[in-house]
Amino acid sequence: MRLIIAEKPSLARAIADALPGGGKRQEGAIVCGDTTVTWCLGHLLEQAPPEAYDPADKQWRLDRLPIVPDTWQLAPRSKARGQLAVIRKLIKQATSVVHAGDPDREGQLLVQEVIEYLKYRGPVQRLLISDLNRPAVSRALASLRPNAEFQPLFQAAQARSRADWLYGINLTRAWTLTGRQAGHDGVLSVGRVQTPVLGLIVRRDNSIRDFKPHPFYPLWVDLQVAQGQLRAWWAPKAHQPLDEQGRLIDRTPADALAAQLPGARGTLTTLDQQEKRQAPPLPYSLSALQVDAARRFGLSAQMVLDICQRLYEQHKLITYPRSDCRYLPEEHLALAQRSLSGACQNDDTLRGWLNGADFTLRSKAWNDKQVGAHHALAPTGKPADVSQLSATEGHVFRLIVRNVMAQFYRPLRTFEVKAEFTLLNEAFRARGQSILDPGWKPLFTTREDTPPLPPLTQGEACQALAAGVEEKETRPPEPFTDASLIKAMMNIGRYVDDPNVRRTLRDTDGLGTEATRAGIIETLVQRGYLVRQQKALRATKLGCALIAALPSAVSTPERTALWEQRLRAISEQQDDPNAFQQALLEDLRALLSQSDAARLRHSLQTAQGEVGGPAKRSGATKKSYTRRKSTGSKTATGSRSSTAGKRRTRRTTD
């Protein structure tokens, strides 16, 4: 008997539908002739707690840190024991096993750890499915690969799981116990991703709080040129009183110049005119979709992830959503017209877009070299039953279809003009844009970003008609929202001061992964470190206090981003998991030595945040906190057992 182990029931059903043999259901499995398909429920196993290695570590004590297992152990998750028993029984009867976890690092770990935990020693093949449509599943079943090819990916995932356990268990215990000494009765959880994310928000909130506005004075002049009128803005010279952005901060010279300008004559001294072509935005990765859906519809990152899971698993309208890729396989190009036509059948907006598409075009989105374990989000081609979709599901589905549809629209062509005029020996600048061909733009917006200028000729004369000075004030940074925070996590190198590290991080995945970013934000909210104020995410007093008390290296992004880089190197056989763990242990010991009750007491007393006193925002004592293992909340490791509610139980530690 061949046994296929899928990551979750929806994937198992899709596999069974594509197999011959009818698909006879039994407890925890589907029998299809000589093949049986069973499934996990997300992670069936988790890292064993500290007391599994030494009973003395059930009690939280500073003198027991760091806790480092000699031989790592896994334990069944309490709610997964029944399904694990089903797989145990089936795997004993199997002559071969097919690993059908999701095609990513965590999916590789999730199923393979079960196979190894149950001590199966027979042949194992790997089934990679990113699209639940029957034709796609059938193609995948015909292209099985040896699971051994994915051993480096498993080792990277295993290294991540163990390292997160070490980091979360030891730092959470250290700062919680230090917090007790400082008078705080509650758990202070620390995680290798969640804490730097909290640090981003705390530092942004501090910048907003400490911001001191100052006025600045832009000067405009309306000019008559040969074929019309335009408005230009003064570009003050360096000897004027300017701020770091080149803005005039003393009104006196602006008023003096404005008084002289009416009637003054000048010349167009510099003219830069060029036609530009802009390709359509690429299809979505999950994070890119979360950013756009937050901006356009006010949806939280977690809401977008949950909607995508329903569109993928329940409605089967989109391909695998937890993707970090924005490119599509080249073989999908030939199928695109059919899949888009199917997706647009029952929606007037989508049909309108479909009518304008030119399927003879090929954009840069179709590129096998850019596609890894996943490809970009795309419609499967199944017609959407609008009556079965909620309003938000419809919104997100249209966004996904739109970005794929845009690949069959012409580029946006614009004519852009930058002009500099000289009057009274001063420079005045104007810019404009004309749309030559809107191309894909109407699918996204009908607004023109920059109005056009009248036709201009290098060296032509101009005359000032009127001038004026506006009084404006500098504004503080905007607080983070779901959209801007996800974008910051994707592009974390922008928040790193060290230029060498910034260069290193330029091409990495940033903080968290496509699958975990939404859950990280929700975890910080649930733990009382963040609150939502309309669309803004603001740090609480407890969140501010924790960041102030921790070593800066724990709350800044450099370590965790470089950590992800090492995990990627392990998956590519360019690094060693043992060396990675040893480096982490050295780092941990240094961090543990910096826990300081006096510093924490001071930060708890002086922290400024949006709501909640520090001692009342933790939401748990140590006893209640450790009990949460069975409820889908974070355990004391700082790890997460659910990112999308009770439905999905994949566990990733952050």
Q: What is the pLDDT of residue 620?
A: 38
Closest CA to 462 of 419, 423, 416, 417: 423
CATH class, range 2-143: alpha beta
638 and 47 in contact (C-beta within 8 Å)? no
The C-alpha atoms of residue 492 and residue 506 are separated, in whole angstroms, by: 8
Is 625 an annotated catalytic residue? no
* Backbone φ, ψ for residue 581 (5° rounding): -65, -40
Q: What is the pLDDT of residue 568?
A: 86
Measured between its terminal Cα atoms, the distance across the chain in Å is 38
How many CB atoms sit inside 10 A of residue 93's CB? 9
Share of the chain above pLDDT 70, in %: 91
Closest CA to 233 of 216, 215, 218, 255: 218
286-408 CATH fold: Topoisomerase I; domain 4 (1.10.290)
Q: What is the pLDDT of residue 102?
A: 86
156-210+479-653 in CATH: which number? 1.10.460.10
Give the pLDDT mean for 518-525: 94
Q: What is the pLDDT of residue 646?
A: 33
215-275+413-438+448-473 in CATH: which number? 2.70.20.10
Which DSSP letter does residue 387 get? G
610 and 544 in contact (C-beta within 8 Å)? no
For CA atoms 315, 317, 323, 329, give the dihedral sign: positive
Residue that has been written with the tokens 């056009």 in this structure: 452
Sorted by where each begins, the domain ranges of the chain are: 2-143, 156-210+479-653, 215-275+413-438+448-473, 286-408
Q: What is the pLDDT of residue 642?
A: 32
420 and 270 in contact (C-beta within 8 Å)? yes
DSSP code per residue over 346-357: T-HHHHHHHHT-
502 pLDDT higher than 80:
no
In whole angstroms, how far apart are CA 137 and each of 3, 13, 39, 178, 224? 16, 11, 16, 53, 66
638 pLDDT higher than 90:
no
Closest CA to 35 of 79, 107, 100, 132: 100
Q: What is the pLDDT of residue 118?
A: 97
Residues with Cβ within 8 Å of 120's Cβ and at least 6 positions away in sequence, in order, are: 91, 94, 97
The C-alpha atoms of residue 543 and residue 541 are separated, in whole angstroms, by: 5
DSSP code per residue over 552-612: HHHHSSHHHHHHHHHHHHHHTTSS-HHHHHHHHHHHHHHHHTT--HHHHHHHHHH---SSS
Buried b (16+ CB within 10 A) or exposed e, 424-435: eebbbebbbbee
635 pLDDT higher than 50:
no
111 and 84 in contact (C-beta within 8 Å)? no
165 and 639 in contact (C-beta within 8 Å)? yes
The structure tokens listed for 343 are: 């997706």
Give the pLDDT mean for 325-341: 93
Task: State the catalytic residue, choosing from 120, 167, 320, 495.
Answer: 320
Predicted confidence (pLDDT) per residue in 263-280, tens digit: 999 999 999 999 999 999
Residue that has been written with the tokens 């116990």 in this structure: 177
Give the pLDDT mean for 306-315: 93
Predicted confidence (pLDDT) per residue in 538-593, tens digit: 999 999 999 999 999 999 888 877 787 788 899 999 999 999 999 999 999 999 99
Predicted confidence (pLDDT) per residue in 352-405, tens digit: 999 999 999 999 999 988 887 689 999 999 998 888 899 999 999 999 999 999
Predicted confidence (pLDDT) per residue in 51-62, tens digit: 999 999 999 999
Structure-model confidence comparison of residues 493 and 40, the more confident one: 40
Predicted confidence (pLDDT) per residue in 595-604, tens digit: 999 999 999 9
424 and 260 in contact (C-beta within 8 Å)? yes
Q: What is the pLDDT of residue 432?
A: 96
Q: What is the pLDDT of residue 647?
A: 34
